Chains A and B, each alone.
Chain A
Amino acid sequence: MRLGKSLVASTALALVAASGAYAQTLTIATVNNGDMIRMQSLSGEFTEATGINLEWVILEENILRQRVTQDIATSGGQFDIMTIGMYETPIWAERGWLVSLDGLPADYDKDDILPAMRAGLSYDGTMFAAPFYGESSMVMYRTDLMEAAGMEMPEEPTWDDIAAAAAAMTDRDNNINGICIRGRAGWGENMAFITTVANSFGARWFNENWEAQLDSPEWLEAVTFYNDLLQNYGPPGAANNGFNENLTLFQQGRCGMWIDATVAASFVTNPNDSTVADSVGFALAPNKDGLDKRANWLWAWALAIPAGSQQQDAAMQFINWATSKEYLELVAEREGWANVPPGTRTSLYENPEYASIPFADMTLRSINAADPNNPTIDPVPYVGIQFVAIPEWAGIGTQAGQEFSAMVAGQQTPEQALARAQALVTDEMEAAGY
């Protein structure tokens, strides 16, 4: 009898344990980049400490974006943790699709997160996504080519400095282009770059009444300058170049300069992949002479919990682990400081070992120079620097991007591209009821 009772008891216990173990598997949707893959390989530590298993769904950025949007909009509940960016966070938080991260424990130290990052991942003062890695944009240039041209790049260049350096380094006979920048259409491709140029020239997407402003003289000046840079000193076929194409060109020694994400610094200085690893210098993104706004963007890949997740507590535990100070130390211990995900915490930049990395200081300065709440010189009704954080942006950004890409390809003038962009943005915004 006693045996029977204890058998029943132990079976019940085993069942509870088994169902508990089953319930504790988190599904994480993420992108394929070096930092995320490293997190996946280190996540065994988390499972060991908590007993929570992890299933990883790694997808290409555009597929991921479509996939998680579809799931969150339909409450599909497929994912417990989603990797999202600064663009989605405020929009989804407003719709009640994300779980607030107020539940993170005190020792997580939210105040340690870089203020710009925290601002970009919050809605109404509440943080809805925790930054896993953050970036701004900056100038990467070839110190050897600058030296040969007898020039020096200032730490805080103006656009005039950039144009002069591009002209001096361009050497068509040796297949060296003075400057490589994004030309490929897409709201996250050429429009990210062009929007930052426009910001620095005093232009803005919308005035405070949500009226499109692409017909302003500031936009024309910015877009003409961008187009001239590419036509005169850019690589052939620039209208098709995005981040990866320019990375390839720069690593092969075909670019004198490249203005793009700060995260690229670790790629171009990696001697395994880059032929110019030992001759790269860094400078802040440029401003226009006389205007106090630099053309640097702000982006973070962040972890968020969809409201449809059935395991929000466990998901919170994982976010606490993956974006903590301890995680940064774990990466440093296993793979060295150069491989620590950048751009998230103040304490990382105060660490003397990290500060000795050549691009650490410039990355921090670039991130701190970005303010998503005041992205332009004139006031605007939106947040976001290289994007406008409204649901319509992905559509209008991509369509406008096609106009500017066609301009770079020589199919239309800056005036024509801007007129078309102004018309389509106005139409879309009217249709959306602004």
Chain B
Amino acid sequence: MARSVTIQRKSLNTLIAWIIGLLLFFPILWTILTSFKTEAQAIADPPVWFFFDWTLENYRVVQERSNYSRFLWNSIIIAGGSTILGMIIAIPAAWSMAFVPSNRTKDILLWMLSTKMLPAVGVLYPIYLIFIQLGLLDTRIGLTIVLMLINLPIMVWMLYTYFKEIPGEILEAARMDGAGLKEEILYVLTPMAIPGIASTVLLNIILAWNEAFWTLNLTAARAAPLTAFIASYSSPEGLFYAKLSAASTMAIAPILILGWFSQKQLVRGLTFGAVK
């Protein structure tokens, strides 16, 4: 029997959900609002909220100063490329760990995660020197590979958890019906795991899109993505908040839109297997 929920309780829950949602969204909202202010309004005390002369001046300045489309294109290639490359490795790896585990599977999973326990700066110089030797500095391919390697443990772990939820009996049944490994993965496993794969893909695109350590350290002019675009608007001397906000808004807009359209997939994937 379903629990009866009173109207009061329901509206209280809704109210709390809204408050938490707005709190989480507030920094982004504030960034977007600031991007339409003048520099003087951006630092005004007490702050101005909605009633000011909205201006597109900051966007004009940012457009004039920086080649936005080049940064955007680099971000798309790097985030998309590292995710695709990562999935090509992570899907078979997670498949084998979930369905044909060996004695060492748990250890391997933990070992993979241990690479995330070292702060990135600890390996900056070795990687920088390797990049110099291989001529990969300031190239999209170099950055794609590094971001793929950084996110690979998370991809494998996420996919492994999703695959574990798929009953092995279904695969056995498919095998009984004469499905080979290829058919098993393509026609049985993949359709069932689509929500999990989709959310892994989305999460990794977001992580790669926002990655700001390696993307700043391994690029100069040619391969610099949107993180470098934002970094160029922070200033040690002088007012910059409004222009920085405009640059940030332009940098997060694509990923925000992507997230908005795919939120159904994302939520389904992230809560997959949470309720049995």
Binding site for B on A (CB under 8 A): 27, 29, 31-34, 37, 40-41, 55-61, 63, 66-67, 70, 74-79, 243-244, 247-248, 251-252, 261, 263-264, 267, 272-273
Inter-chain CA distance A34–B231, complex, in Å, is 15
Per DSSP, are chain B's interface residues mostly helix, strand or loop, or mixed?
A: loop
Residue from A40, A60, A74, A261 in contact with B234 in the complex, judged by beta carbons closer than 8 Å = A60
A261 and B237 in contact, given A57-B224, A78-B137, A78-B220 (Cβ under 8 angstroms): yes
A74 and B128 in contact, given A56-B221, A247-B238 (Cβ under 8 angstroms): yes
In the complex, the answer to whether B228 meets A59 with C-beta atoms within 8 Å is yes
Q: List 20 A-B contacts (CB under 8 A).
A: A31-B236, A33-B236, A33-B237, A33-B238, A34-B238, A37-B65, A40-B65, A41-B64, A57-B224, A63-B216, A66-B217, A70-B124, A70-B125, A74-B128, A76-B137, A243-B236, A244-B236, A244-B238, A251-B40, A272-B40
Residue from A57, A247, A252 in contact with B45 in the complex, judged by beta carbons closer than 8 Å = A252
Residue B232 interfacial (CB < 8 Å): yes
Per DSSP, are chain A's interface residues mostly helix, strand or loop, or mixed?
A: mixed
Residue B114 interfacial (CB < 8 Å): no
Inter-chain CA distance A261–B235, complex, in Å, is 15
Closest residue of A by beta carbon distance from B224: A57
Using Cβ atoms and an 8 Å threshold, which residues of chain B touch A55? 220-222
Residue B184 interfacial (CB < 8 Å): no
In the complex, the answer to whether A57 meets B220 with C-beta atoms within 8 Å is yes
Quick one: CB contact mask for B53-76 with A, threshold 8 Å, 1 for yes? Answer: 000000000001100000000000
Closest residue of A by beta carbon distance from B44: A252
Binding site for A on B (CB under 8 A): 39-40, 43-45, 64-65, 124-125, 128-129, 132, 137-138, 216-217, 220-222, 224, 228, 231-240
Closest residue of B by beta carbon distance from A248: B43
Using Cβ atoms and an 8 Å threshold, which residues of chain B touch A243? 236-237
A58 and B236 in contact, given A27-B221, A70-B217 (Cβ under 8 angstroms): no
Task: Return B139 CB to nearest CB of chain A, in Å.
Answer: 11
Task: Return B96 CB to nearest CB of chain A, in Å.
Answer: 39
Given contact pairs A27-B220, A57-B228, A264-B237, a sample of 4 additional A-B residue pairs in the complex whose CB atoms are under 8 Å apart: A61-B236, A63-B216, A77-B132, A248-B239
Closest residue of B by beta carbon distance from A54: B221
Residue from A32, A77, A261, A272 in contact with B232 in the complex, judged by beta carbons closer than 8 Å = A32
A60 and B220 in contact, given A70-B124, A76-B132 (Cβ under 8 angstroms): no
Using Cβ atoms and an 8 Å threshold, which residues of chain B touch A61? 236
